[in-house]
Amino acid sequence: MASEAVAVKIQEGVAVDAVVPAASETSAQRKILLKSVEGEEFLVDELFARGSKMISNMIDDGFTEGAIPLPNVTAPVLSKVVEYWKHHVGKSETDKDAREFDRAFVKDASSSVLFDIIMAANYLDCKPLLDLACQAVADAIRDMNVEQVRGFFGITNDFTPEEEAAVLEENREWSNALTVTGNGQKESNEGGNIVLP
Amino acid sequence: MEGLVVLDAILEKLDARDVVMVACVSTRLRSCAFDDSLWRRFCARDFGVSSPVAPNGEPCFSFKATYELWNESFGMYPLPLVKRTKQCWEGISSWLATNFPEAKDTLRKGASEAKLKLVEDTLELKLPMAMRLLYRFCDGQETVPRDTSEHRHLAPLGIFGGYEFYEHVVNVHLLPLDRVVVETREFEAALGSVKSKRVIVAASYYAEKWFFLDSVDGQLYVGSNNVSINGEAFPCVPHTLIRPRVDATWDVPQDALLLWLEEYSRRLHSGMIQVRKFRKARVINLFPEEPPSCSVAITNGVKVRASTVLVPEVSSATGDYYYAYSIRMSLQPDGCLLDGVYYQSCQLYSRHWIIKSKDVVVADVNGEGVIGKYPLLLPNGDEFVYESCTPLPASPGFVEGSFTFVPGRLTKPEGRQFKVQVARFHLEVPEYIF
């Protein structure tokens, strides 16, 4: 493993040999080697790598030698995931920097990037990141109509005309059901889940 | 498969309406969007509904159908408020089902939106949102007697409880909308002033204790001694918690009625307020049963518990506040221990009572018996309970004292007299008035 000539992605800005970490080092100091699908290797603090439940379990199961292969994750995506861990692992849930990072993280992410992150977070079992990315997609969808959602997911309309009519009718009924503006309910419209005609 | 899991993780973060829109995209998205496990989560998330049952109690064949019916019925309100009111009300009614079923049986089913609108039009005011929601779940208690002979068995069933001292008996019931209209108009007529924006919601049998909601400031008030003269009333909920309108910091109105009900529910569930025997019936007794509002002291085997409630309906904001207190005495199982000897009974001879208001002694009473009685205590016997009331010129204050007991009986004392302490209990205007 250490004798193979591989490109080692330096995460700390300091050159480090890709060696098996000594057992006496604490998990805060120990580094784990992760390998993306292209074979690119990422050296990551064990503390951060445990941001993935899957990797954490593998470490606990004794998988400390060599690189952990992640055949479902590409290097660009893995790089983003590691960034996420560095800003979140070990921090409190209300950490201001972490929230600021999240905002920037999803802000201009394209749908394909978001989907890749969602798939990676799902595979790696990193629930907070999965939630963040799914919420970003949900927020984007919320402001869309049916055609726009199709474009966003890159999905084609495969309904028969009858099926399509039926589901559009149901959609219409749902929009209408929430346009009640009885007196006294005007304030509730500010709650956000009611559409005024 | 993984794609479906991920799709589900995205959909569950949407509102129901958006999920139905997504269903129009393709057959695959439709089957994901209409997956009933997603709608099971929506029912729980938005309405606190965990089984497929419609608002009217009928079973539904799917969670999606359940959600549609709840949304149809309650979707005109902010869903977080619906869920919160529903859960609060269910907490109270489940407590009643376990502890006071005879009162639970008096609860009427919820009123309709149409009925609420009629009430608003009749009274020419807008009902606070949480009051509307509460009445959607329950239109008050069916405790207006059809003839006076039914008074006796209906009077103690008020779900908001009460107290009694001397001849003053209080038991507060949640009024049905029809009575809300009648009583509110009677008050308006009596006060004769400009149309107030207050609506009565709860009232006591017998003694005149009235609770009303102010539709302008959202506060719940309880009438003072002067309420029929000038509308004087005390706020029942800490002002700082109330937000009658939606604004930038609160997206759900914080209505006093809901806050009051939530606090009441907490006290019922914690055992602070309990059902107790009252003459031949049972009532919800508002004298606190637990510290810190209930003081406890055991001296020589005699246990004395003392607790107090503010009596707003006889108090006056400009005059004295009245506090009723309930003293409960009992003898420990081993009996009365005096000078190393156990006695199997003891009897009260006299009391010494000190009432202080802001360090000024208001009353310092020495007298024989309590309310004319000389209770005899036996081990494991029932608690002897008596109630009394005191005015307090200025808040806060406290009461403490002692009872003089004799082991054995007064007619046949078996040892010397001894003093039993009444642990100090405090009199101050509470944050929440019930």
Q: Is the pLDDT of residue B98 over 60?
A: yes
Mean pLDDT, rounded, for A113-142: 92
Enumerate residues 85 to 114 of chain B having a beta carbon within 8 A of any beta carbon in chain A. 113
Q: Which of B387, B142, B184 is nearest to B278 (CA)?
A: B387
Selection from A63-72, A179-188, B359-368 with the highest mean pLDDT: B359-368
Lowest mean pLDDT among A149-163, B188-202, B205-219, B239-253: B239-253
Rounded-to-10 torsion of CA A75, A80, A83, A84: -130
Judge whether residue B112 has pLDDT over 80: yes
Radius of gyration of chain B (CA): 27
User: Which of these, B399, B193, B243, B375, lies nearest to B309 by C-alpha position?
Assistant: B399
What does the angle CA B292 – CA B325 – CA B96 come to, to the nearest 5 degrees?
A: 70
**Using one digit for the tens of pLDDT, what is the confidence trace for B303-360?**
999 999 999 999 998 888 999 999 999 999 989 999 899 999 999 999 999 999 888 8
**For A81-99, how does the pLDDT look when each residue is reduced to its tens digit (9 = 90+)?**
999 999 898 888 778 888 8
- CA of B247, closest CA in chain A: separation in Å? 9
| Candidates A181, A188, A190, A194, partner chain B, best to mutate (most B CBs within 10 A) | A188
Flag whether pLDDT at A21 surpasses 80.
Answer: no
Nearest Cα to Cα of residue B205 among B180, B179, B174, B170: B170
Neighbours of B313 (CB within 10 A): 20
The average pLDDT across A125-150 equals 92
**Confidence (pLDDT) at B58:** 93
| Residues B46-76 pLDDT 10s | 999 999 999 999 999 999 999 999 999 999 9
CA B46-B50-B55 angle, to 5 degrees, is: 75
The answer to whether A79 and A127 are in contact (CB under 8 A) is: no
- Average pLDDT taken over every residue of chain B: 91
Q: Is-contact B144 B89, C-beta < 8 A?
A: no
Chain A residues with beta carbon closer than 8 angstroms to that of B79: 191, 193
pLDDT of residue A143: 86
pLDDT in tens, A170-185: 999 888 765 443 333 4
Average pLDDT over residues A6-23: 46
pLDDT at A16: 44
Most A CBs within 10 Å: which of B4, B8, B26, as the mutation test of the A interface? B26
Reply yes or no on whether the pLDDT at A192 is more than 70. Answer: no
Contacts of A170 in chain B (CB under 8 A): 20, 23
A127-142 vs A75-88: helix crossing angle, rounded to 10? 110
What global pTM score does this model have?
0.83
Checking if the pLDDT of B259 tops 90, the result is: yes
Q: Which has more pLDDT, A110 or B174?
A: B174
Asked whether the beta carbons of residue B129 and residue A184 sit closer than 8 angstroms, the reply is yes
Contacts of A188 in chain B (CB under 8 A): 76-78, 81, 129, 246
pLDDT at A24: 47
Contacts of B252 in chain A (CB under 8 A): 191
Given this model, what pLDDT does residue A95 score?
A: 83
Q: Find residues 68-127 of chain A whose CB sits inside 8 Å of chain B.
A: 118-119, 122-123
Residue from the list B5, B132, B251 with its beta carbon closest to the beta carbon of A122: B5
Task: Indicate the residue of B15, B26, B251 with minimum beta-carbon distance to A157.
Answer: B26
pLDDT(B134) > 50: yes
B197 — pLDDT class (breaks 50, 70, 90): confident
B16 and chain A in contact, CB less than 8 A: yes
Q: Does B41 touch chain A (CB under 8 A)?
A: no
Do residues A43 and A16 touch, judged by C-beta distance below 8 A? yes
Q: What's the pLDDT score for residue A94?
A: 78
Judge contact between A173 and B16, C-beta under 8 A.
no
